[in-house]
Chains A and B, each alone.
Chain A
């Protein structure tokens, strides 16, 4: 059991974190649903969190974990803000399609 766990190195965690980050970014660019776009930015944040925790464990200090707590707080603040803004817009037009909002252009 321990031997299989030991084979998981820093690089594996970083790969997972990086993949989550890239999937989030691709999703942000391609999705047009406001809620899904927001979830994609959350995915990017969580990818970074995996990086931070893995680096923290690798260096043997708690700075990464401390940073993670703050990132989670910011992510939570942004989540509440995003939902508030989306509800505000939903009251104007009952749609979540980002392309429905095209009043500003130029």
Chain B
């Protein structure tokens, strides 16, 4: 009982999401249109409630449970707020706007509206759990809770063979990645004898040596690290497990694609940050091999994403490889964090940069996908909303609002000034720059890192500008068959419009109002307390046993 009392207040947002998901599963049994219409409203309310819980009473919510398996820190609160906030935008994207509430032009879950939104909430609950996990079992469960619903969401998002093929592909590779990750966890447990991330960090801290105070892991721990990174790379869609992205993102319905490009990425990044904290011996003083691995993965991921993105004809595939490239940028920030060793201020800045970039990416990415889902496909295609460049041609001139929103989103994804993407990239690169000036021996490496990141941002402009250019400059290609109708008219429905407006306003607002951007980053200033010390008073096992 005592233990329950200590953990329930900490887990309130997660519990709220899971309970609401259970209720939505029950609601999904009903075949009434009203029940299907209520489902998105309920998930919107619950996500809003979670935001309110997280924002409103952060002091009451912060702390550890009695056994130190779950923690609420400013780091985890930031991730939770981000997941719930972007979750609201993603709910708006998936809003059923049909007459019979079975989906919207791009999404068709039939009568499963309740189940669909329940899966969405469960996946978000997984992200929240990952952000607070201080135990590898909980970390693994959180990652799986965030992933397994997405496999189902991909499959039920459209009643076509393509979506189910994508779902199966995603599932099989996800199971493979989970097995790799588990193998890493098993060796990490085996070499330390504990599953608590905090305790493992303490044990590794005992091996600290060298000028930077980096830890010295054993060969088995390095093997565990490589396996864990492989598993997390799948969630991030980072090299070498990035190849599924194009197929899965193309097969899933557009709102689900937007979900896939954000939620698993957040779990992956948070998990890598936690593992870095552990391998750094309760800090980020990670061994050099870790930093080298991150460097290699970051560079290969950026190039793979951007070069493959240039070659695609399907805009959803382009956005898939763009998402791969953005994982690479996030890993650039983590590489700077890894090389920073014991340098506190650079570490702080690097972590803040990464966390800010996740938020920026979530916002601008949702904007682009919302526009994509509002533009209908041209006649004679299997899908109903825009997928290829032809579908976009000329739509920006016809519908100036959508065109401008797409332009803002794409410019932000490139990282042009006046958008949030610019500050995102700036905050990722500045720590590396500072590190090079503080530690001369790292100058070469950091110069390469910064240079390659800039080069990739330039390459990525190739396909982002092609999207914008197609919308505004390219003449509309002749229609198939009858030439009666002109360009198809975008779906006019409230929810995706609100999502587009919100995402665009946030992208421009955070990009132009410097104080707003600073506010967002100072919120994560003290986020370095990831594996904080559990309460010094050991849990009173006798009283726990009695109360049972």
Chain A residues within CB distance 8 Å of chain B = 14, 17, 21, 24-25, 28, 34, 37-38, 41, 44-45, 47-48, 51-52, 54-55, 58-59, 61, 63-64, 66-67, 70-71, 74, 77-78, 81-82, 85-86, 88-89, 92-93, 101, 103-106
Contacts and interface: CB of A to CB of B under 8 A. Distances in A.
Given A81-B152, A89-B168, A52 B137 contact: no
A78 B436 CA distance: 46
A67 B161 contact: no
Contacts of B180: 44
B475 interface: no
B161 A103 contact: yes
Contacts of B168: 34, 85-86, 89, 101
Contacts of A34: 168
Contacts of B312: 106
B193 A61 contact: yes
Given A52-B189, A58-B190, A106-B314, A78 B175 contact: yes
A28 B169 CA distance: 12
Interface in B129-168: 136-137, 140-141, 144, 148, 151-152, 155, 161-162, 164-168
Interface of A is mostly: helix
B203 to A, nearest CB: 12
14 contacts: A21-B179, A25-B176, A34-B168, A44-B176, A52-B189, A54-B190, A63-B195, A67-B136, A67-B189, A77-B148, A78-B171, A85-B168, A101-B161, A106-B317
Contacts of B151: 81, 85
Interface stretch (B31-39, B52-60, B243-251): B243-251
B166 A104 contact: yes
Contacts of A82: 171-172, 175
A47 B182 CA distance: 10
Q: Which of the listed residues B166, B167, B169, B178 has the most CB atoms from chain A within 10 Å of its own CB?
A: B178
A74 B171 CA distance: 13
B186 A41 contact: no
Contact of B250 (A59, A67, A78, A104): A104
A13 B161 CA distance: 43
A16 B167 CA distance: 32
B201 to A, nearest CB: 16
A77 B144 CA distance: 10
Contacts of B433: none
B23 interface: no
Q: Which of the listed residues A45, A55, A89, A104 has the most CB atoms from chain B within 10 Å of its own CB?
A: A104
A64 B167 CA distance: 32
B187 interface: yes
B3 interface: no
Contacts of A63: 137, 189, 193-195
B172 A101 contact: no
Nearest to B251: A104
B172 A48 contact: no
